[in-house]
Amino acid sequence: MCTRVLWNTNDLAVLTGRSMDWPESTQPLIVGFPSGRDRDGSRPTGIVADPNPLRWTSRYASLVTTVYGLGTVDGLNEAGLAGHGLYLNETDFGPRDPAKPGVQAGLWLQYLLDQADTVAEALRLMDEIQPVKVSAHGRDANLHVALEDAGGDSAIIEFAQGRAVVHHGRQFTLMTNDPTYDEQLNLLSLQDFSHPSREMPLPGNVNPVDRFQRAAYYSALLPTPGSQREAIASVMAIMRNVSVPFGAPYGDFGVYNTEYRTVTDLTNRMYFFELTTSPNVVWVDMDRLKLDDTPVAVDPYDQSLIGDITDRFAPREMAF
């Protein structure tokens, strides 16, 4: 499940919020990866065997949240590109074309953060590769990806019948889950949320369509921020509003509880993280993060973490 909201219309900072909704813990780690790291698009070993795996050496350092220790689902790089992998049941990467290097879906976003400094460059790289479907913990990694950069550019990338469907432009600020992005935009056009009022009826369910439209409504209400603190709080407030509370019945709603929320400040290269089972918001200043040759990480389930955790990172071996 999940929701993504981009705020690129204020004069203070380019900010993005995302929520992670899933039926169990994704075992997240917040990881700093140094540049110069060699990767293989078919690894971690045992996830997928591929006839032509994409291999690369990262150009940029990155700060990401991992999923099951097998890939990246959220984060930014030192050049000011950020990305978010969300679930889309209708994803269809198509049959494997061995003429193109393949990258397992859990490393798709990490590859773009490793190699691109802007949305435009990331889209260019997409022409050269093929994401490959994988499964973990009994669930398929049916992902679509949202990207944004420090200049405020944005793109949504989905795969249908083996072909990439790209929505590229600053206006594409919202994303949830099914239906496809074209259909979400069509449904949004039926209700004008650009001029919200207290009389306007607002969709209140936790399904992806209602969350998409509610995110549009509250994004249109965002006040001019007086400080970075106010701007971060504004985006986090929207992410809390579009989150799924504990106890939502999976079978009836087809959605899952929110495990965590993040806000990415691309202008100042800061990353804010809120675990829904913890009262603490934590954040990382990427410019102060010490990245040498080894990845460093923190476990957000550590209840002692609070506030600025930049100095709490410790070396950690990662499978990718």
Residue 252, pLDDT > 80, answer no
Q: What is the DSSP string of 31-57?
A: EEE-SS-EEETTPSTTS---SSB-EEE
Is residue 138 within 8 A of residue 168, CB to CB? The reply is: no
What sections of the chain are H helices per DSSP?
105-115, 119-126, 181-189, 208-220, 228-241, 250-253
pLDDT at 138: 86
Helix or strand or coil: residue 268? Answer: coil
Residue 124, pLDDT > 60, answer yes
**Per-domain residue ranges of the chain:** 3-315
CATH number of 3-315: 3.60.60.10
pLDDT at 49: 79
pLDDT at 254: 66
Q: pTM of this prediction?
A: 0.96
pLDDT at 250: 62
Calpha distance 304→21 (Å, rounded): 23
Calpha distance 10→61 (Å, rounded): 27
CA distances from 144 to 45, 89, 181 (A): 23, 9, 10
Query: Tell me: the pLDDT tens digits for 18-40?
Result: 999 998 999 999 999 999 999 99
**Best CA proximity match to 167, nearest among 179, 177, 153, 178:** 153
pLDDT at 248: 72
User: Exposure string (b/e) for 285-320, b if CB count within 10 Å is 16 or more?
Assistant: bbeebebeeebbbbebeeeebeeebbebbeeeebeb
Q: What is the mean pLDDT of the chain?
A: 94
Burial of 31 (0-12, 13-18, 19+ CB in 10 A): buried
Query: Looking at residues 238-267, what average pLDDT do you find?
Result: 86
Calpha distance 253→238 (Å, rounded): 21
Residue 93, pLDDT > 70, answer yes
Q: Tell me the pLDDT band of 191, cut-offs 50, 70 and 90.
A: confident
